[in-house]
Structure 1
């Protein structure tokens, strides 16, 4: 059964700030985000003088988000299997070093378009590594019912920076050039680095995978078999593809449509940030009256109308108003997608699920920034925005086929662990086949088949392979559920991940079984033996039962 956010009055918008660690990181992230905005303004405006074509200017935004497409998933795996504080710390160090190098080169007058794009890419790489670790940490710092508000506050922090940063950045660029922006960005990371050094979180129990690649495989498998997560990823990618035009071509809106300079560019960015802060502040109230899907539809309508207005406007006040609305619409959409992912996955895979979401959403933004830059070169900036608005509006059609929903908490809450002293000890590094045998009378067969189908979907989502159901050829009442996992350690992890929803289906299957003993579970593992007889001699795999 779905849980609607509007079903009950929840905690207030500011409730997560009662938690000391969350508040400290939140405040430090505001200063860090302000620095990032200073760099973005500086880099975009510097590129207009180094290589002033729309495509090159748009590449600054594209290469700042491209690392999310490339590195988010490995970063999400690291966030789930390592100490998230260390992952956050490493990301901050990378961004500090890249920003410091860019500042030094700018003061020396040695920045070229290629160097600017390369160092922008490195800063974006640090952000790609940091984002899954920080966002998955939110669920450890605040209670589940406060997660939507914590996500909203994080987005508010970013948009507070986007309101203040571009305005300051535009003034600094006009007064002293982009190099000061780059230097201040490097300094802005020091506060968050200090907070992470001082923070000593309790040791988190991790269900470590066999390797990072195995952890990535587990995360992708979970997402592919989770309908709510797949829908969020698809919708977010479409939304990001269209909304990328705002930041990617903002400098050209100021220069070509309004015929203004860097200060107005900063003002436009600030107006969008102010709208986003307002949208984030309203998010808590809106979630009480609208479902996640309702918020996303509202965000698409507001954003598409505002994009069209930007393209048609040649008046600064009207463009500022449109950007204010764009900021509000974008924050409603992106924050709702983010919350939907976090509310639809359990803690053990949250980092990887968020990484997948970011990879596709910001991958869509990277593609969109490049695509709309090319369209701008062909038809002009003024025509590109209405075209983009029309494309975004048509994505409303996806709502009827792929609505965004939130699953019941029982699908995510871990079931109480049941000690099973009969579990055998198995060698490491070999595949394991699990067979569960049932004796089902005809009267219970329909109920049994429905329950086993649902349970098998959960098994595949959690990483089981070759999931099948077998019926005895001679005795129609005898059934065997069979599935395979890559190792015994992985099977034990899957047992620990069992949710209350999975337990409910297991209880139904046990109720359908008839016999003097409960359903029998048998384990088999692969043993390699060498055959030296015949021309086809070599290794063969034989399965033996455990225990």
Structure 2
């Protein structure tokens, strides 16, 4: 039975954190509007205002993967609390300097960038803790609620900021953004995260490289990222050019707010419908239908220049956007193991933000050359082309068992390596009957990806020239610490299943050897 759309909110901790995240997201959108409005009367205002968006997005592109690494290395609750405290200090200073008229444009951009750094650190960490708060079968619903959160903030933040700027001034908007960090921090303080046992924290550099290797050798993650690009790149035409749609339809600034609200309303409607859609549609059929719906919305906006057509079309676009994004987000939540979850989501954020930024730039240039309707029609054609690839490049519908599995025997050594000693060469010798050799080699190709995902930098499978029935697996790990993490924490139930398939084709268990650097001392025990 599918989990109802709002079911995760019944948990008071998830509910509190979701509300805190909503307050923070609304504050971020208010901050962006306030910063832009603060600069509209400056010389070269168009340049300064455009740089606000750059200063907001640049930290996500630059820092997402390091931020995800920090979230996997350190306690996620403490990291979020530290970031909220730092963001509160930055936003409060910004408020005071703006209220006292000591905020020239370059300084405002520096503060905007610093707040963007806080957002870049928060996003992958928040995504990574969701599976700790809700049961696994509730993750798709929690993912949909995350999309609702984002779109509510996108709709409400600019509208509230516009009213406050007119009635009370920019410093008040900045001050409320500062208070939004307090709301999120209070929700975090109510959450008592259980202590996580296991090995000591990874060092930052090796952890960063381990995250990159994991994504590179995880076909399911790479497929999700590809589908993100194929949808977000053409889909970004809506978010990037909504102001021009309002201008084309002579709707003014109030109409701009109405169009944004239509997108947000569509996303909320999509969240309400998602449980039923998941019951009736496979993930890939959902991708196809939402892609077709989004393309239909783009064609409608391009060919029917009327607010009465544009508003429902954007509601449909918001629904389709939410369906695609929440589906891919949920797939990633289900697939990523806990040890690398934040790093995986950091890569997801980089790809998502990069596709959105590149798409907005692309469609803006096409609009300059050909006009707004032509840009929307071109985006619709790209959306249809991307949707047509679902059959050949589908999302994998089953993530397998992602729970940690400790099934390798503990290594017993005569040497005493330090955790930082390396590289370490591991060999495994298998005896395989002639009739099983082809199947064994094929099964070991899946084992290869497991080794490379979990720490190995090189892998090979060889045959012993003197023993025709003996195969030798060889892989290299950067340090002894990395190899111990393979033994305890990085392997999953799916890795165990794939390894068992290969072992079933061999005669008995393999003979394992650990080759260490020549300078490692002999154990005193």
TM-score normalized by the length of structure 1: 0.86
| Conserved 8 A contact 1:275-1:327 | yes
Paired residues for 1:70-89 under 5 Å: 70-89=62-81
Counterpart in 1 of 2:215?
Answer: 223
Measure how far apart 1:337 and its partner are.
Answer: 1.6
Counterpart in 1 of 2:280?
Answer: 289
Rate the CA distance shift 1:345–1:127 in 2: closer, same or farther, 3 A.
same
1:57-107 Cα shifts (integer Å, max 9, x gaps)? 555444423322211111111111110012212332343344334444543
Mapped partners of 2:45, 2:236: distance in 1: 17
SS in 2 for 1:484: strand
Counterpart in 1 of 2:410?
Answer: 420
More deviation, 356-365/414-423: 414-423
Counterpart in 2 of 1:29?
Answer: 21
Measure how far apart 1:388 and its partner are.
Answer: 2.8
**Structure 2 residue aligned with 1:478, among 470, 484, 493?**
470
Mapped partners of 1:54, 1:184: distance in 2: 26
**Is 1:463 matched with 2:455?**
yes
**Structure 1 residue aligned with 2:271, among 270, 277, 280?**
280
| Conserved 8 A contact 2:463-2:471 | yes
Mapped partners of 2:12, 2:32: distance in 1: 30
Mapped partners of 1:341, 1:330: distance in 2: 17
Give ranges in structure 2 of 5+ residues lacking alignment: none
Mapped partners of 1:368, 1:224: distance in 2: 24
Counterpart in 1 of 2:116?
Answer: 124
Give ranges in structure 1 of 5+ residues lacking alignment: 1-8, 530-542
Counterpart in 1 of 2:236?
Answer: 244
SS in 2 for 1:402: coil
Paired residues for 1:81-100 under 5 Å: 81-100=73-92
Counterpart in 1 of 2:156?
Answer: 164
Rate the CA distance shift 1:245–1:86 in 2: closer, same or farther, 3 A.
farther
**Is 1:501 matched with 2:494?**
yes
| Conserved 8 A contact 1:415-1:499 | yes
Measure how far apart 1:481 and its partner are.
Answer: 0.9
Alignment RMSD (CA, Å)? 3.0
More deviation, 383-392/329-338: 383-392
Paired residues for 1:298-377 under 5 Å: 298-377=289-368
More deviation, 520-529/128-137: 520-529
**Is 1:405 matched with 2:396?**
yes
Mapped partners of 1:207, 1:121: distance in 2: 35
Counterpart in 2 of 1:447?
Answer: 439
| Conserved 8 A contact 1:22-1:141 | yes
Mapped partners of 1:378, 1:238: distance in 2: 23
| Conserved 8 A contact 2:410-2:487 | no
Counterpart in 1 of 2:507?
Answer: 514
Mapped partners of 2:217, 2:282: distance in 1: 23
Paired residues for 1:193-272 under 5 Å: 193-205=185-197, 210-254=202-246, 256-272=247-263
Mapped partners of 2:36, 2:288: distance in 1: 31
SS in 1 for 2:518: strand
Counterpart in 2 of 1:137?
Answer: 129
Mapped partners of 2:51, 2:240: distance in 1: 8
TM-score normalized by the length of structure 2: 0.90
Mapped partners of 1:482, 1:421: distance in 2: 16
